[in-house]
Amino acid sequence: MNREQLSALMDGELEETQEPPLLARWSTDGDTARVWNEYHLIGDVLREHHIRHTCIGTRVSRALADEPTVLAPARRPPRPALPRWLAVAAAVSAVAVTTWTFQNNPPLPGTAPAFTATAPAPVAAPTQVAATTEAGPYVQMHRQWSPLSGFQTVDYTTEGPPSR
């Protein structure tokens, strides 16, 4: 089993020609599937999502194998789940709500990739944490000028015209 290839596949960076053999191995080789699941679990832990990993994969696979094939038209992808936010947000009028989670949404894959083809997962963790810490002040300043950003962060640290 090639862990580098697996990691690259997760990041969507594997060359197309390498995908079919790896996927074939993934479906037959238990070790590959296990490592795949582990990588995802590690990724989720690093991204601090609520961990919902269970060993459901094998059971679903088995159940699927026993099922007859059903041909059905493809489902249209659902639009992002907004209504529930709105229902809650509507209650906000007079308020001091300071935190809020995107509880209704899937994990944010934008936070990935925690893995790269060359760096194994455990090494990626400190790097991302370090980058997040280092980026902090810049992210804060970026928000202050983003047209989409809020106003409590509108800054008062401007010094004046840029110097040459």
Phi, psi of 97, deg, nearest 5? -90, 130
Q: Which residues contact 42 (CB under 8 A, 6 or more apart)?
A: 114, 121, 122
Q: Distance between CA 82 and CA 105 in Å, rounded?
A: 9
Count of residues of this chain found to bind another protein when the rule CB under 8 A is applied: 61
The kind and range of the H/E element at 60 are: helix 56-66
Q: How far is it between the farthest Cα atoms of the chain?
A: 72
Q: How far is CA 149 from CA 68, 102, 108, 139, in A?
A: 51, 17, 19, 11
Q: Which is nearer to another protein, 41 or 81 (CB)?
A: 81
Residue 156 contacts another protein per CB under 8 A: yes
Residue 30 contacts another protein per CB under 8 A: no
Residue 122 contacts another protein per CB under 8 A: no
Site string for another protein, 72-101 (x = CB under 8 A): -----x--xxx--xx--xxxxxxxxxxxxx
Question: Is the bond leading into 113 cis (omega within 30 degrees of zero)?
Answer: yes
The window from 25-33, 37-45, 62-70, 147-155 that contacts another protein (CB under 8 A) reads 147-155
Q: Which is nearer to another protein, 66 or 151 (CB)?
A: 151
Residue 126 contacts another protein per CB under 8 A: no
- In the complex, the smallest distance separating the C-beta of residue 24 from another protein, rounded to whole angstroms, is 25
Q: Which is nearer to another protein, 61 or 149 (CB)?
A: 149
Which tokens is 95 given?
Answer: 């308020």
Residue 51 contacts another protein per CB under 8 A: no
Q: Distance between CA 119 and CA 4 in Å, rounded?
A: 8
Contacts with another protein by CB under 8 A lie at 47, 77, 80-82, 85-86, 89-102, 105-106, 108-113, 127-128, 131-132, 134-135, 137-142, 145-164
